[in-house]
Each structure stands twice: as structure tokens, then as C-alpha cells.
Structure 1
Amino acid sequence: MRTLTLILLALLGTIQYHLWWGKNGLAEYHEAQANVNRQMDDNELLVTRNTLLYREIDDLNKGLAAVEELARNDLGMIKPGETFYRLLLTDKLPTNKPLP
């Protein structure tokens, strides 16, 4: 009877080892689940980015306002008859301190 108990305990230990740390065990399952969750988060970000790109493409195809805005911002377009003012902001204002 004692030998049977030891054999059953050894079998139970082997099964538990394979369940927790063996190939296709719980450790690999949790790692795979974390990879799936990370990939789903990445996919959501890419879907959002693609949606914005499709909106911009649609806007560029349908309207001239977006094309004009891109030309003004990226290429510095100024229409004939327009006056362009460029404002430069300084971080520090000059002070009138006497030099020692």
C-alpha cells in the first residue's frame, strides 16, 4: 500500500509539473495571453491612425480647403494680394540694466 501511495504521489507531482512549467503549460498560456492583449492594443492604435488618415485623404479628395491649408503650412503659400506678417516671439525680453 505504501508503494502505491508513493507511485501515485510521484505521478501527481509529474502531472503538476507539466501543468505549471511544462510545454504548453500555464506559464506559456499566460505569456501567450499577454502577447495577444499587447497585439490587440497595438491594433486599436493602428485602426485609429488609419481612420484619421482615411479622413484626411477624403478631405483632400473632396475639398480645396485642406489642400490650401497644407500648401500654406508646409510650402509657405501666399495668395496674390495677401500680406504676410511673420511674428517672432522671444523667450526673454531685453532688460535695460547698466553694465558694471
Structure 2
Amino acid sequence: MKKLTVLLLVTLSWLQYSLWLGKNGLNDFIYIKKNLMCQQQRNAVLKIRNEQLCAKINNLYHSVKNPEERQLSPTEITPVQKTDNSITVKKSIDA
């Protein structure tokens, strides 16, 4: 009976060790849980950014579809540079 008790205690000790300190134990679980929370936060930020980009794309698509309804903002208006391209003809006095 003592041998069975010792064998059960050794088995229980080994199982507890592998639960707490072994591969895929609680330490790994806590590490993975922290990484998961960080990844979820990062994904939330990227999801907001993707939604903003989709809204801009839809806005551009609809503005191309109806160009007469689109109004230019003051930052989109560029001044036209005027150039003076006049042709001058010189008359020679020799003739």
C-alpha cells in the first residue's frame, strides 16, 4: 500500500509540475493571453483606419460618378499662371 501511495504522489507531483511549469502550462497561457489582448487592441486601431479608407474610396467613387455635383474645396483650387507668348517680328532696314 505504501508503494501505491508513493507512486500516486509522484504521479500527482509530475502532473502539477507539467501544469504549472511545463510546456503549454499556465505560464504559456498567461503569455499568450497578454499577446492576444495586445493584438486585439492593434486590430481595433487598424479596423478604424480601414473603415476610414473605405469611406474615402466610396466618396471618391461617388464623386467620379457625379462630377457635376462635386464642388472643389479651397485647397484643391490652384491658380492659373498666365504666360505672355507674344511673337515679335523684326524688320530689317537693309531692304
Place the TM-score, normalised by the shorter chain, in its bin.
0.5 to 0.7
The reply on whether 1:3 has 2:7 as its aligned counterpart is: no
Identical-pair percentage: 32
Q: Which amino acid aligns with 1:8?
A: L
Return the alpha-carbon distance in structure 2 between the equivalents of residues 61 and 79 of structure 1.
26
TM-score, normalised to structure 1's length? 0.58
The reply on whether 1:57 has 2:57 as its aligned counterpart is: yes
- 1:86 is aligned to none
Q: Which amino acid aligns with 1:39?
A: Q
- 1:95 is aligned to none
Shift of 1:53: 1.0
- Per-residue CA deviations over 1:40-75 (Å, capped at 9, x if unaligned) read 22112111101111111222332334xx33x71xx7
Shift of 1:33: 2.3
Larger radius of gyration: 2
Return the alpha-carbon distance in structure 2 between the equivalents of residues 61 and 2 of structure 1.
81
- 2:38 is aligned to 38
- 2:14 is aligned to 14
RMSD, aligned CA: 2.4
Equivalenced residues, count:
74
TM-score, normalised to structure 2's length? 0.60
Please, which runs of 5 or more residues in structure 2 have no aligned partner?
A: 64-69, 81-95
Please, which runs of 5 or more residues in structure 1 have no aligned partner?
A: 81-100
